[in-house]
Amino acid sequence: MRTAWRVIAELGLGVMRARGADAIPFLQGQLSNDTTRSAGRWQLSGYHTPQGRVIALLRLTQLAPDDLLAVMPLELVPRVVTRLRRYVLRAKVQVTDDSPQWQVRGYPAAPSALPAGAVSLAYGDARHLALIPQSAAAPAGPIDGTRSDWIAADIAEGLPQVYAATSEAFVAQMLNLDLTGGIALDKGCYTGQEIIARAHYRGQVKRRMQRFVSETPCTLLPGETGKLADGRSFKVVEAIAVEQGRSEFLAVANPPPAAGDANPHSDEAEAAGAATEILISAQQLPLPYALPALRS
C-alpha cells in the first residue's frame, strides 16, 4: 500500500443532504446507526432493505441538528435519494443530491488549512475526508494521491464499501458492520432492523468479509464471484491492483476451513458460488479486528 500521498481529489464519492426539523428522527428510522450521535465525525451507517440487505453505506455527519450530510459512492446517491423520498410523507425534511455543491477530498491526516465552509472529519484510523464548497478555492498544492490509494487504505483497515454492483447483495454482518461501528443495537426500529438484530443475537452469520491477496496475476471487481483454492466461494466487496498484476481484495466468504475439514463451504456458500467464474489461489491477510466465532 502506497502511503506517501498528500491529497486525493478524485474519490468517486457523492453527497446527500437531509435538511429540516425532522432530519435526524427521519434518518433514525431508516439507517442502522444512531443518527443522534453523528455530530463531529463521519459515522458509518447502513441503509437496508426490509430483508436486511445493504442498499448503500453512508458516512454521515451533522452540520446542525436540522442539517446532515452523507457521503457515499456517487453512483448510488440518486438511488438512495429517490428511495428515501418515498418515506418522507409528512416529515419535515428535504432529501437532496448535493454532489454538485461539494468537492470531496481525501487526506492522510487532518489538513492544515481549508477554506471557510469546508467540513473535514476523521475517517478510518488516521485519514480525513473533507468536503469543500464548489464555490471556494481548493487549497493549493499538488494532488498526488489516487482513488486506488484510498481504497488500499480501506482494504487494510477492513472498511467495507457498497457500489451499484453490490447493492442489496449482502446483509449487514456479512460486511462486518457490527465490528466497524456501523450498527447501533441500542437504538429503536429502522428498516431491516429485525433481520439484523436476529442475526446478531443468534450469531449464525457464516459468511463474513475477509481480506486476501491473490498469489497469481488477476483483476477483480466489486460484485464478482469466484472460488478460492481451498474450496470457499467468495464475492468481492472491494479490490485494487498490487505488485506483479495481483489483486488485494475484501471479499465475503466462509471462515478458513479447519484442519482436516473436507467440506469447508456450507450450502449457503455453495449457492453463492453457483455463478462462479473465477478460480484463484489467494493468501488470507489479517484484518485489524477479530471476526466472531460461530455459535453452535
Compute the Cα dihedral for 122, 127, 129, 135 and give only its sign: positive
Q: In this predicted model, what pLDDT tens digit does every residue of 94-149 receive, in sequence order?
A: 999 999 999 999 999 999 889 999 999 999 999 999 999 999 988 888 889 999 99
Closest by CA to 246, choosing from 279, 213, 278, 206, is 213
The count of other CB atoms within 10 Å of the CB of residue 47 is: 26
Computed over its alpha carbons, how large is the radius of gyration of the chain?
19
| 268 bridge partner residues | none
Instruction: Give yes or no for residue 1 having a pLDDT over 60.
Output: no
Domain extents in the chain: 13-157, 206-287
Q: Cell 430483508 belongs to which residue?
A: 51
Q: In this predicted model, what pLDDT tens digit does every residue of 37-77 receive, in sequence order?
A: 999 999 999 999 999 999 999 999 999 999 999 999 999 99
Amino acid 221: pLDDT: 97
Helix (H, G, I), strand (E, B) or coil at 148: helix
How many angstroms separate the CA atoms of 41 and 23, rounded? Answer: 17
How many angstroms separate the CA atoms of 80 and 55, rounded? Answer: 8
pLDDT, averaged across the chain: 91
Residue 129 grid coordinates: 475526508
Amino acid 139: pLDDT: 83
Closest by CA to 193, choosing from 31, 72, 43, 22, is 31
Give CATH for domain 13-157. 3.30.70.1400
Instruction: Give yes or no for residue 276 having a pLDDT over 50.
Output: no
Q: Cell 485494487 belongs to which residue?
A: 240
Helix boundaries (H) for 254-295: 267-272
Q: In this predicted model, what pLDDT tens digit does every residue of 175-205 receive, in sequence order?
A: 999 999 999 999 989 999 999 999 888 877 8
Residue 186 grid coordinates: 441500542
Q: How far is CA 263 from CA 62, 125, 271, 281, in A?
A: 48, 37, 14, 17
